[in-house]
Amino acid sequence: MIGIGAGDPEQLTLQAVRALRSTDVFFVLDKGEAKADLVRLRRDMLETHLPEGTYRVVEARDPERDRGAGGAAYSPAVGDWRSARAGIYERLIAEELGEDETGAFLVWGDPALYDSTLGILEEILERGTVAFEYDVVPGISSVSSLVARHRTGLNRVARPVQITTGRRLAEGFPEDADDVVVMLDAHQTFRRYADQDIDIYWGAYLGTPDEILDSGPIAEAAPRIERLRAEARERKGWIMDTYLLRRNPGER
């Protein structure tokens, strides 16, 4: 399992490049028309770092996820989707990989952060139908990318930082942290906090040629980000964005 960074081929680590070079087969999951760009970015990374003809790429269709399931139904829906994915990965490993070959899953950003590939490989091993060993190569996450581009840190001196999802942020601003990184937010949840003393550091398509950055006091930045987001979505058909909310502790 190779973390490939959040989009910039130059953010692959030397360890990742070494792992790419010792791979025979790359498994690439296609998430449909809108995400075809992400498959292209992965293929570009391989073409940048590997001699032609030294590897195979096997593409498969990602199962549809029941995104409508909210509240208590959310976890089972994710569980079903993970199992469906495990079935596909299991078949790919069994059918596409020779006995002595090495396969690799290219994981966006860092495999440890909001990614299910680790859990899926463990589920396959538990099923016991195919046997394999695997290693994890860490990657530069979109969170590291975001704060680097904004030339800021994640935490303030001796203070905690929390990484969470848009869904969680909608339930309330975390009580124990004033620095909060939000991922997987399709609903621009930051808008709920636009009347508070908070700075936002926002980034979309980080590390890619389409990268967009904005930052500032949330009251001023939120409407700008909403506009930028809508324009980008319209233009590209999909968006991937992350942001850091930095609250003035006096706001609590």
Ligand X SMILES: C[S@@+](CC[C@H](N)C(=O)[O-])C[C@H]1O[C@@H](n2cnc3c(N)ncnc32)[C@H](O)[C@@H]1O
113 belongs to the binding site for ligand X (CB under 6 A):
yes
CB 187, CB 170: distance < 8 Å: yes
147 belongs to the binding site for ligand X (CB under 6 A):
no
162 belongs to the binding site for ligand X (CB under 6 A):
no
Of 110, 123, 178, 179, the residue at the interface with ligand X (CB under 6 A) is: 110
**Which residues, 6+ apart, have CB-to-CB distance to 222 below 8 Å?**
188, 190, 191, 194, 200
- Residues in the interface with ligand X (CB under 6 A) total 20
> Which residue, 26 or 202, has its beta carbon nearer to ligand X?
202
6 belongs to the binding site for ligand X (CB under 6 A):
yes
**DSSP assigned state of 63:** P
CB of 29 to ligand X, least distance (A): 12
User: Please, what's the b/e burial string for 73-108 (b: 16 or more CB within 10 A of its CB; e: otherwise)?
Assistant: eeeeeeeebbeebbebbbebbeeebeeeebbbbbbb
238 belongs to the binding site for ligand X (CB under 6 A):
no
CB 210, CB 232: distance < 8 Å: yes
> Which residue, 23 or 242, has its beta carbon nearer to ligand X?
242
Positions 174 through 213 that interact with ligand X (CB under 6 A): 183-184, 203-207
Span from 27-35, 53-61, 102-110, 153-161 in contact with ligand X (CB under 6 A): 102-110
Please report, for residues 14, 92, 110, 112, the alpha-carbon distance to residue 138 in angstroms, rounded to integers and kept in the order given.
11, 23, 5, 8
Positions 59 through 88 that interact with ligand X (CB under 6 A): none
Of 108, 173, 193, 202, the residue at the interface with ligand X (CB under 6 A) is: 108
Of 11, 23, 142, 162, the residue at the interface with ligand X (CB under 6 A) is: 142
Sheet strands (E) in the chain: 2-3, 25-30, 56-61, 103-107, 161-165, 179-183, 198-204, 212-217, 241-247
> Which residue, 41 or 97, has its beta carbon nearer to ligand X?
41
- Among the listed residues 171, 249, 185, the one whose alpha carbon sits nearest the alpha carbon of residue 222: 185
Sites of contact with ligand X (CB under 6 A): 6-7, 108-110, 113-115, 141-142, 183-184, 203-207, 240-242
